[in-house]
Each structure stands twice: as C-alpha cells, then as structure tokens.
Amino acid sequence: MKKDHRTCAVTWYSYDGNGTLAAIFEQQGTGAIQLKEQPVYGSDRLGTFYRLGSNYQYTITDHIGNTRVVINRNKTARGAADIVYYADYYPFGMELRSGGIENRYGYQGLYAEKDKEIGWNNLELRNYDAAVGRWLTTDPYGQYDSPYVGMGNNPITGVDKDGGAVEPPDIIYKNSYTNKEVARIKLPGEDVTIFTEAFRPQDIFTASPGPVLSAELNLSATESYRRANLYQLRQNLSNVNYNDISNPTTSFAIVANVGEVAAGELMTYKVGQLFSKINEIRSFSLNNGYGIFGREGKMIGNYKLEMMYANPSAGRGAGTIFSLKQDVKGGALWRWDYGKLHSTGEMGYHSTIRYYWKGVKYGNTAQRTAWPSSLKAPFYKEIPKMK
C-alpha cells in the first residue's frame, strides 16, 4: 500500500502466490476503492489493461526492461501507432527526456515504480536515486563492497529486481556441432557463450569422484587391480607438488598434463575446423580455389598431385577432384573431374587417363566414364606416334 500525500490517493498492490503483481487498486480520498490496472503478461509483462476505460496499453522495453515507449492497442485514424508515452534514460536511470501521459513504470520497468512525491524509484526492499546511481539505504544482501552502489556500477546489463541483489546475466553452454543451447548458469558480468562437445547438462556439470565400474561386468582380479592402480596414479597426478621436480611423479604429471592440453586443443581446433572445411572442399573453394595442396600442388618425385581445385571453365561449381600428372610435357596423367560433359553439356563426373607401357603411349586426354577402372573406357588403345 502507498499513499500520495499530495493528492491523498491511496494505492493497493495485489500479488499472486508467486509474488507477481496481479492488480492495482486505487482510492481517491474517501471514495470507493476501484480496480484501476491489471498487468498483461506473456513471458514477461507486455502492458497494462486499464479497467475504467476498458483499454489496453502495451509497453516496448529495452534489454534491461526500461520502458521506452507505451502505445495504445488501437492505432490512430491514419493507421499509425498511437504513442501514449516515451522516455530515454541516462545509464543509471535518470530520465534524459520523456513525453506524453506520465507512466507508472520507467527505469527497469515493472520492478521500479517512480514515486511522484520524492522522485525516487520504489522497489520492494529499498529506494533508489537515479540522479546519483545509488541506493538510499544499505544492501540487505551485502552483494558488493559498497552497500549503496547501484546495479553493481554496471547499469548496461545489471538489473536489480527488488533492491537486494543484481541479477547476473547468463553463461550459456552451446554444443560446438549443433550450436544449440545445452545449459545455463548464472555468474556476474556480461553474457558469455561457451562451446562444448556435451549434448546434455549432466555431461557438463556431473563429475565422477572416482573410478566407475559397470555393475554388469564380472571383472577379473587382474583387471580390478589394473584399474585401481590407474585410479591411484590419476589421484597422485592431481595432487602433485609441481615445485618438487626431483619427484618422478612430478615429471610424469607435467608430461601428462601438457599432453592432455595439447591433445584437447588439437581436437577442439580440428573438430571445429572440420565442418567449415568440408563445405569449402565440396564447393572447390578451399585455398581460394586452388584445392587441398594450394596453388603449387604436392610434388611426389616428378609427379604433381592436386585435389579438389576449381575449374570454372568447365561450368559453375566445376572442379578437379583428383589429378596426378607427370611433370613433363605430354607425360602420364590421371584425372577425375566434375564438370560439363563433352557429349551432353550436362554436369557430371568423368575421367581422363594417359600413360606409357614399354615406351608406348596409351589412352588420351578425352573424357572417359566416371571411373577410370570402368571396362567401358578404352584405356589400352595405343596412340599412334606423331610424325
């Protein structure tokens, strides 16, 4: 309940069992108590239903809940939004400019109703002065070193719903492969996204305190002894004194930890890069179109190996999948391509082969069937020598 000593109006606030504001009643002087406002909710407060005028007004807020614009449910005669109220704020909540019919909710929206008498924001536990960015009484939760600091000195993301503690933003765990959210935790500071290989929250937060043996397995004495020794070794490594290099366990721990870190970093890099590289390889766009081995290819003896490089002259999206060519003019050649077929002009797979046997050249550079091993390709047709 709140009383305005200027107008002698008394306001009552009604909450549901979850502590959510359900209705606002008002009494003017000695008149009857009337239901004045009912908040409209979706996932959060959307606006207000004014009982007396039977009118809905909807609130547009920013990322921390500040009321920026209030509009009527119905548009104007010209079809434009009927703006009832608007406001801009300094970082700690003092109004920079505003206009229209004065609105009950401003800085931090639902949680901080501005008192018209004293100009402070009334919250459940204490009052807040937006002009100086400080609370007027001490923090009942003792969240910060200063009991009066407003929003943890971080008004850009900090939201204090009741005057007790700033609600920290989320830390979001996402799966590296699917980019879908796996879990969330709360921690002070700006929103942070952490990518993980886990698919379930329990894979992130549940740790095994010791060796876990399947109940269904009948382990031999030798296997049980081996597992127990491995577990004991891991325990020793986790409690090693890194300042004592003379201890063999210390050296082993350093090597093991370096190996684990290197392997973890390598796997994270490789797996993370794999999916992006697959698309580049499939579209013949890897290394700016020069393929897996780059512009110079890969020399193996006097043969040049090239793979997955673009060949725009053979059609859009065309390229050579595999090419092994002797590094001499007219030398041996085996290529497998994807591009326009000479016979039909349609995109498809085809191969080219040219090689020598006992000084005789076989095959030619004309397109063959998709697979060089196909019996339909006349690979053994001798090419007449040029005069």
Query: Are 192 and 185 contacting, i.e. CB atoms less than 8 angstroms apart?
Result: no
d(CA 292, CA 320): 11
Q: Beginning with the edge strand found earlier in the chain, give each strand of the sheet holding 34-41 in spatial order.
A: 2-4, 9-15, 21-28, 34-41, 45-50, 55-61, 67-72, 83-89, 95-100
d(CA 37, CA 105): 12
SS3 content of the chain, % helix, strand, coil (to 5): 20, 35, 45
d(CA 82, CA 140): 42
Query: Are 193 and 185 contacting, i.e. CB atoms less than 8 angstroms apart?
Result: no
State the angle between helix axes of 221-238 and 248-282 in degrees (0 to 180), rounded to the nearest 10.
90
3-state secondary structure of 319: strand
Which parts of 162-247 fold into alpha helices (H)? 201-205, 221-238
pLDDT in tens, the chain (387 residues): 778 777 788 988 898 887 788 999 999 888 899 998 999 988 778 899 998 888 999 999 888 888 999 999 988 888 888 999 999 999 898 989 989 987 778 888 766 677 777 778 888 888 999 999 999 999 988 888 889 999 888 888 788 878 888 876 667 788 777 778 888 776 555 556 777 777 777 777 654 444 444 444 555 666 665 666 666 655 555 555 544 545 555 555 555 555 554 555 555 555 555 555 555 556 677 777 888 888 888 888 888 888 888 887 777 778 888 888 888 777 788 888 888 877 777 888 878 887 777 777 777 666 555 554 443 444 444 444 444
Beta bridge partners of 72: 57
- Amino acid identity of residue 289, one-letter, is G
d(CA 172, CA 326): 54
d(CA 32, CA 87): 33
Q: Is the dihedral of CA 257, 258, 263, 264 positive or negative?
A: positive
φ, ψ of residue 137 to 5 degrees: the values are -135, 170
Beta bridge partners of 340: 347
pTM confidence score: 0.44
d(CA 125, CA 112): 11
d(CA 117, CA 4): 7
d(CA 95, CA 230): 64
DSSP-derived letter for residue 17 is T
